[in-house]
Structures are given as structure tokens and as C-alpha cells.
Amino acid sequence: MKFCMVTTFYPPYSFGGDGLFVQQLARDLVRAGHEVHVVHCTDAWRVVSGQRDPAGLPDSSDGVVVHGLRSRFGKLSPLVTQQTGRPGLKRAELERILSDDFDVINFHNISLVGGPAVLGMGTATRVFTLHEHWWVCPTHILYKYTDELCEDRACLRCTLAHHTPPQLWRASKAWMGRCLSNVDLVISPSEFTARRHREWMQAAAVDVPMRVIPEYSAPLDSGGPLPADLPARFFLYVGRLSKAKGVDSLLRSFAQRPDYPLIVVGESDEGGPLPSAGPNVRFTGHVPREQLGAYYAAAEALVFPSICAETFGLTAAEALSCGTAVIARASGGVRDIVTPEVGTLYTDETGLLGDLDRIWNEPTLAQQMGEAGRRRHEQYYTPDLYLSLYLGALEEARSGV
């Protein structure tokens, strides 16, 4: 089949997991014999990053045809989309690309590449994959201005607290509903994310099929070398260093357990300063993906403290693939991944401290959880399984089943 992926960010013009996942999916589809195009907005990356271009050059050797949208109006283009919910200054170029004879157009993160209105473009079977909660939350992450998971909407106060320009078009649920009705299928990576979006769709009287297909993690090399000065035993955190990700809470907990080393892999949001931490905490900064598996495999457990509602929890799935137990906050889609056999779920810092003590003092338990986690990964989170479910869902959508 001939695919077109439409997304705001795509490597190297990307930040988080959504761009990496789209890249991995595109490459896997090419390896499976399909033709894949990707459309993304380079101007959006420039607005968010404050840079002109990333350090790395786009990889043109993987067989994916990449269309980087770059308007002569520069940063104004994504700002127009953010404020209007429409492609705006990118419309003509999007229409030109999407007029090709694609079998499937898969929309991903559409926040700054076209907004809700982009879902009506093109004539192929249209699919919308949820990588974040942008459709139901203007800050994308269901993280309330009160530093807790959003359960009661206060969107204006949240957008102001997050320094996000308010989007007046969100007040028209009827218009958003008409836009969403243009797609033939919505794909959610977790039951939690599906439930949140089904509630919105029901309130807006939108009847579009939705399938839950868990995301997958590409194989990681867990046998690579590690820095010689790493402690023999340690806990691991992988991700952005932000309050919404629960890093502040994590560091407070490890301050109460000074004998437990914590390795923190990741960078501060927007290049900000590192949070303060005790001598048992080490910040590595960015670690290349080809080296990350060794960190997972050597850790006692991955700690996943995110307060915001992750749509899935990719680092948790990566840890399972390396045979590592997971200690996770019971929030969002990660609850689908972490069962009692492969890790623990906690609700507050007291619970986290108890789980850390249990894993540290019972290394055999951590090993058993890691082995069970590897089996769970093989059962639910592999590229082959995802492609099978994904292509099957697309065939149903194309045939109108």
C-alpha cells in the first residue's frame, strides 16, 4: 500500500516519542514492502525549539519520502494553525502532497501541521492516531495548573498557567466533531486514552470507529558497554526532566533514600537548568538510543513517575524488552503495561518509597519481574504484532467494516 503520515514533528525536527514512533512505523512499513511518505512542519520545530535547524541531517537512506513543510512566512505559519485550528499558510502545499494516489493517510500529531481541519484533506482512507491528549486538552498532557492529573476541566486557567495562547476554536465542539467525523478510524495506544476520547466523542455525537492498538518499542541492544564509574546497582529514570513527568517528586523520594543510586537519563525542557538533587543522583543528559538498552538492562528497575496522563508509556515498554522491572505511578496509559507480574504501581510518594525498598531488598523479585516483563513485551509490544494489528485495522476501515 501507499501511505502518507502527517505529523507536526519528525526526526531530526522532533522532541519526544511521537516523532520517533512515526519514524519507526514508517521504516517498518517500508521494510514490509510498502511505500511511505511523511509530511511534517519544520517551522513548528523552529518555533518550539528557538533554533533554525537541528544538528543532525535528515536520514535519506531508509526509503521513507519526507516532505518538510517550510513556509516563506516562517514561524507565522504554525502560529496561524495554532490559533485557527486550520492548515492556513500550509494549505496549498498540503493539498498538493495529499492529492497523490495514497491508499491511507495516517494523521498523527496534527497540532501545528494543520489542526482539526487537516483531517478532512485528501481522498484516501483517513486514520487518526492518538499520541497525546491534544484533542481533549489544549496543553496536550492532562496536567492541571494545580500540578495534578486533570479530572475537572479548567482549560483557560491551565493554558494561561502553561503559557499557551488560548484557542477560541476549541469552544466549538460541533466544529471539532465535524472535523473528526472525516476520519475512517481512530487508533488509541491504550484503554485509558481511548476512554478519555470516547467520552469526548460521545458528548460531541461523533460516531467514528476506534481501535486500541498498543504502541511498540523497536529492539534495543542491551549488551552494550556502560560507563565504568556507574554504581553496581541503581534505579533508572528515562525521559524529559519536567514537573509534569514527576521528576520533582522522584528526586524528593530519593533524597529520603540516600543509599539508593538513581541514574537520570534525559534533558531539561527547553534546555533549562537541571533540578537540584542529592549525591546519590547522577544526570547523564541525552543518551543515544543505541546505548540506552544497556542502561535499562543494568538497572534494578525503571522508575516511571509521570503525573501527567501518558497516552501509553513507551519507556516502560522499552524497559520490559530489556528484562527490567518497572515501578510506575498509576496514571494514564502506563497502567495497561505494568501488571503485578512485571512491576508495581503507586499513587503517592509513600507508595513509591515502599516499592523502592521492596525492589532493592528483594533482588530475586526484581529478576523475576524482569523475566516476566520480557515475556510480556514479546506478547504485546513487538513491531510484528503492531504491524499485524495496524494493517488489519486499516483493511477493515478501507472496506467499511
Cell numbers of 130, please? 492518538
> 327 - beta bridge partners?
303, 344
Q: Of 187, 152, 131, which is closest to residue 8 (Cα–Cα)?
A: 131
List CB contacts of 140: < 8 A, sequence separation 6 or more.
111, 132, 133, 134
Domain boundaries, the chain: 2-216+383-399, 235-380
Tell me the C-alpha distance between 349 and 396, whole Å: 45
List CB contacts of 195: < 8 A, sequence separation 6 or more.
none
pTM for the full predicted model: 0.91
Helix (H, G, I), strand (E, B) or coil at 211: strand
CB burial class (10 A; 0-12, 13-18, 19+) of residue 55?
exposed
Q: Would you state the pLDDT for residue 161? A: 74
- What is 2-216+383-399's CATH topology? Rossmann fold (3.40.50)
> pLDDT tens digits, the chain, 401 residues: what are they?
999 999 999 999 988 788 989 999 999 999 999 999 999 999 999 998 888 888 766 677 899 999 999 999 999 999 999 999 999 999 999 999 999 999 999 999 999 999 999 999 999 999 999 999 999 988 877 777 667 776 777 777 777 777 788 899 999 999 999 999 999 999 999 999 999 999 999 999 999 999 999 999 888 988 888 998 999 999 999 998 988 899 999 999 999 999 999 999 998 865 566 777 889 999 999 898 889 999 999 999 999 999 888 999 999 999 999 999 999 999 999 999 999 999 999 999 999 999 999 999 999 999 999 999 999 999 999 999 999 999 999 999 998 75
Q: Which CATH architecture has domain 235-380?
A: 3-Layer(aba) Sandwich (3.40)
Radius of gyration of the chain (CA): 21
> Residue 65 belongs to what H/E stretch?
strand 65-69
**Strands, E assignment, 255-342:** 262-265, 281-285, 301-304, 325-329
Residue 301 phi, psi dihedral angles, 5° rounding? -165, 150
Tell me the C-alpha distance between 296 and 293, whole Å: 5
Tell me the C-alpha distance between 107 and 180, whole Å: 11
SS3 per residue for 270-284 = HHCCCCCCCCCEEEE
- Which residue is listed with cell 499513587? 347
- Residue 113 CA to its chain's centroid (Å): 17
Same fold, 2-216+383-399 and 235-380: yes
List CB contacts of 182: < 8 A, sequence separation 6 or more.
119, 120, 126
Helix (H, G, I), strand (E, B) or coil at 350: helix
